[in-house]
């Protein structure tokens, strides 16, 4: 066809190239829409008679989304998974997949501050009743269940105090009463703990943390039963809360080293916890690998491969002086799970939305610091901390 220059320019590169070899790393599918052969082909894909392989529309999915979702479902050992624009979007989608107006949700009062705000400020606006309690008290959880209770939500390791629960017993009790269980597994990751193996119905993650691992991707994920993931996916698509192809792609690159990184994070965090627990300037350390942790024995049973890279500690003396002495070595940053060690201040970051009285009730004190221990050489991490502590 003898097309004119304007047409040739507009249609340049619109046909995929087939090559005798294949890329070792999946390319980024940055295009926002895919084309179909005819109406029959389009209907087959939209009605899922024919697998789309990610070829519909950017908000629905791309090959990058499907590759990452398949990897996450395999890691968490669930039937399906869906990616979201953030960890909070994934948790919200989990709630929307299960709950409707008039339903009741039970959640751990130790939930991450963003989740706490969602539970206390947004869910009531949706007509959902929320009960917050100490999830480690299984008798209290059982007493709180009503005929309208549909879901229990908790974290496998809480942020920032690192508590855990007898998850198998909790799930058995919940399922006996017809209640589903949702677990935020961000701190542990499937490299160390897989809630679905204990019967959890939904498992959420902030992809921005350990799964991507390098503070360069924003996203969330939800894994679980296929019927529940289908409901969550529909909500995410309708609300425009799906992940970008680039964030899916870069998360998958980080995911490849998850096992190696989590072993290093785990070993380093345990070593730091041991040292800090014996330092005169440290009033308390919160880490499941310490014998004074309230769930020490339980955590050892549930997490035989360790607890990841997170811990918190309370400092005696001037926090700002300690933080300033770490400047250029261990940054103060309102996130976690980078390969570099970082420090955070829950009082004004992760739990900023809670009032002072509630923070104190939950054990979030102005003296509390959260440490995300990286994969650097442990001697260097310890030296940096000890230099800052020894004022």
Structure tokens at 264: 């290093």
311 DSSP β-pair partners: 371
The angle formed by the CA atoms of residues 265, 212 and 180, to the nearest 5 degrees, is 90
Residues in the chain: 391
Q: In the prediction, which pLDDT does 328 show?
A: 84
Q: In the prediction, which pLDDT does 204 show?
A: 98
Domains identified in the chain and CATH numbers:
39-255 (3.40.640.10), 258-389 (3.90.1150.10)
Q: Is 189 exposed, middle or buried (0-12, 13-18, 19+ CB in 10 A)?
A: buried
The angle formed by the CA atoms of residues 110, 155 and 112, to the nearest 5 degrees, is 45
The count of other CB atoms within 10 Å of the CB of residue 356 is 10
**Low-confidence spans in the chain with pLDDT less than 50:** none
Q: Is 37 exposed, middle or buried (0-12, 13-18, 19+ CB in 10 A)?
A: exposed
* Cα 114 to Cα 141, 304, 349, distances in angstroms: 22, 29, 10
Residues 47-103 pLDDT 10s: 776 555 657 888 888 999 999 999 999 999 999 999 999 999 999 999 999 999 999
370 DSSP β-pair partners: 312, 344
Would you name the residues annotated as active-site residues?
Answer: 59, 112, 184, 209
202 DSSP β-pair partners: 182, 224
Question: Positive or negative CA dihedral for 278, 283, 287, 290?
Answer: positive
Please tell me the distance from the alpha carbon of residue 83 to that of residue 66, in angstroms, as a whole number.
9
Q: In the prediction, which pLDDT does 57 show?
A: 85
* Cα 366 to Cα 211, 278, 281, 300, distances in angstroms: 30, 21, 15, 29
Q: In the prediction, which pLDDT does 70 show?
A: 95
- Classify strands 368-372 and 342-344 as parallel, antiparallel or unpaired: antiparallel
pTM of structure: 0.94
Q: In the prediction, which pLDDT does 319 show?
A: 95
Q: In the prediction, which pLDDT does 378 show?
A: 98
Structure tokens at 380: 């260097």
Give the largest Cα separation in the chain, rounded: 83
Please tell me the distance from the alpha carbon of residue 204 to that of residue 209, in angstroms, as a whole number.
12
Q: Kindly report the backbone phi and psi dihedral angles of residue 13, in degrees, each rounded to the nearest multiple of 5, phi listed first.
A: 70, 20
The count of other CB atoms within 10 Å of the CB of residue 190 is 25
* Measured distance between the N- and C-terminal CA atoms of the chain, rounded to whole angstroms: 79
């Amino acid at each position: 066809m003898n097309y004119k220059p304007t047409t040739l320019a507009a249609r340049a590169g619109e046909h995929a190239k087939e090559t005798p070899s294949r890329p070792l790393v999946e390319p980024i599918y940055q295009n926002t829409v895919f084309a179909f052969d005819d109406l029959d082909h389009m209907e087959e894909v939209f009605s899922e008679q024919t697998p789309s392989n990610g070829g519909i529309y950017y908000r629905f999915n791309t090959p990058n989304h499907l590759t990452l979702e398949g990897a996450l479902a395999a890691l968490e050992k669930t039937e399906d998974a869906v990616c979201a624009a953030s960890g909070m979007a994934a948790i919200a989608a989990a709630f929307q997949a299960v709950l409707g107006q008039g339903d009741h949700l039970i959640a751990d009062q130790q939930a991450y501050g963003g989740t706490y705000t969602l539970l206390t400020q947004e869910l009531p606006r949706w007509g959902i009743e929320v009960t917050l309690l100490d999830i480690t008290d299984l008798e209290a959880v059982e007493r709180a269940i009503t005929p309208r209770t549909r879901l229990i939500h908790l974290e496998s390791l809480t942020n920032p105090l690192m508590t855990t629960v007898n998850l198998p017993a909790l799930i058995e009790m919940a399922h006996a009463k017809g209640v589903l269980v949702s677990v935020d597994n961000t701190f542990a990751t499937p490299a160390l703990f897989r809630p679905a193996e204990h019967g959890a119905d939904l498992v959420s993650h902030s992809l921005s943390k350990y799964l991507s691992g390098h503070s360069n991707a924003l996203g969330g994920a939800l894994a679980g039963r296929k019927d529940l993931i289908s409901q969550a996916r529909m909500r995410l698509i309708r609300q425009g809360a799906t992940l970008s192809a680039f964030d899916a792609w870069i998360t998958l690159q980080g995911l490849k080293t998850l096992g190696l990184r989590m072993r290093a994070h785990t070993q380093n965090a345990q070593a730091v916890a041991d040292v800090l627990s014996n330092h005169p300037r440290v009033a308390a350390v919160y880490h499941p690998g310490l014998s004074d942790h309230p769930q020490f024995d339980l955590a050892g049973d549930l997490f035989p491969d360790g607890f990841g890279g997170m811990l918190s500690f309370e400092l005696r003396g001037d926090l700002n002086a300690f933080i300033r002495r770490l400047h250029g070595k261990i940054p103060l940053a309102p996130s976690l799970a980078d390969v570099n060690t970082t420090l955070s201040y829950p009082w004004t970051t992760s739990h900023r939305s809670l009032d002072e009285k509630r923070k104190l009730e939950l054990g979030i004190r102005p003296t509390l610091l959260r440490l995300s221990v990286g994969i650097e050489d442990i001697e260097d991490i310890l030296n940096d901390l000890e230099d800052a502590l020894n004022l």
